[in-house]
Amino acid sequence: MNIQPSRRLWVPVVIVSGILILLGTLAWLLFSRVESSISPDPVTIANASLTNLQEQNRLTIFSASYNATVTTTLSKLGLSARKTLIMPGTVRYELDLAKLGAEDVRWDARDNIFYVQIPAIEIARPEVHIEQIQTYDDGGILIALTDAEKVLDQANRKKGVAELAKQAQNPLQMRLARESARRAVRHNFALPLQAAGVEAKIDAFFPYERSRYKERWDYSRPIKDILAEQQKIRGEAQ
């Protein structure tokens, strides 16, 4: 007599429980999809940073001032003339960001590290401070009577520019320029990630340092491959 009413109560409870479980599952799936769509993706953010860098084309990451002192001697008609030039100038150290491609940025999801291979630093042509140039000559007859002064000035200016470029390549200044380049690249990638609340490290290095990163470079994946894979998954889900 008491069994029949129990079954009548038990069946609705099972149905309601099933509906609740189904609704819970659907809600979880919906939440997961929404969460994944709004959660910041480090690779997408890094790719946007890369695009922004590429649009800058060339980036001056360091500059230094130098002084070139050169002397030229000219012999003509049995006479000689000598002139010395002191040429101040500034040299810019630049990155050609057009050479920074998606294959140069790799993501290590295990350790949350982006590896960025920076293009080699390029030294721009020295900018001569013409108004600060100083010249000294021996005041000889050859300068007074011929075009020797013009010839000496042209030779000294050419030597001066070459000397400024040579000084710019000294190891200390190149090391400072590379450190500045690393900081600039890390900064450009790190800021958007930090703003999005993504904890990721940026390890920037130059091609000549590649051997030190071989294992980590091989283990990580190019962001272009990851983005292509994400695009494929989104296409299949639609």
CA distance linking residue 223 with residue 20, whole number of Å: 41
Domain boundaries, position 8 = 1-39
Q: Indicate whether 15 and 70 sit together in one domain.
A: no
CB-CB neighbours of 4 under 10 Å: 7
Considering the domain architecture, whether residues 112 and 30 belong to the same structural domain is answered as no
Distance, in Å, from the CA atom of 73 to the CA atom of 97, rounded to the nearest integer, reads: 43
Looking at per-residue pLDDT, the higher value among 101 and 145 belongs to 101
Mean pLDDT value of segment 184-192: 94
Query: Given this model, what pLDDT does residue 42 score?
Result: 92
Average pLDDT over every residue of 201-205:
93
Instruction: Indicate whether 12 and 116 sit together in one domain.
Output: no
Same domain, 137 and 23: no
Q: Are 22 and 119 members of one domain?
A: no
pLDDT tens, 62-99? 999 999 999 999 888 788 889 999 999 999 999 999 99
Q: In this structure, are 33 and 133 located in the same domain?
A: no
Residue with the larger pLDDT of the pair 212 and 96: 96
Is 90 exceeded by the pLDDT of residue 232?
no
Say what angle helices 42-55 and 223-237 make with each other, to 10 degrees.
Answer: 120
4 and 79: one domain?
no
Same domain, yes or no, for 98 and 170? yes
Do 57 and 29 belong together in one domain? no
Closest residue by Cα to residue 188 from 55, 62, 67:
55
Residues 14, 4: Cα–Cα separation, whole Å: 16
Task: Please check whether residues 27 and 57 belong to one and the same domain.
Answer: no
Summarised one tens digit per residue, pLDDT across range 44-67 is 999 999 999 988 889 999 999 999
Indicate the DSSP class of residue 106: E
All residues at 6 or more sequence positions from 73 whose CB lies less than 8 Å from its CB, including other chains: 80, 81, 82
The model's confidence at residue 195, banded by pLDDT at 50, 70 and 90, is: very high
- Tally the domains of the chain: 2
Average pLDDT over residues 95-120: 92
Q: How far apart are alpha carbons 238 and 227 in whole angstroms?
A: 17
- Do residues 74 and 47 both lie within one domain? yes
pLDDT over 90 at 9, yes or no: no
pTM: 0.73
- 19 and 72, same structural domain? no
Residues β-bridged to residue 80: 75
Beta bridge pairs of residue 86:
69, 134
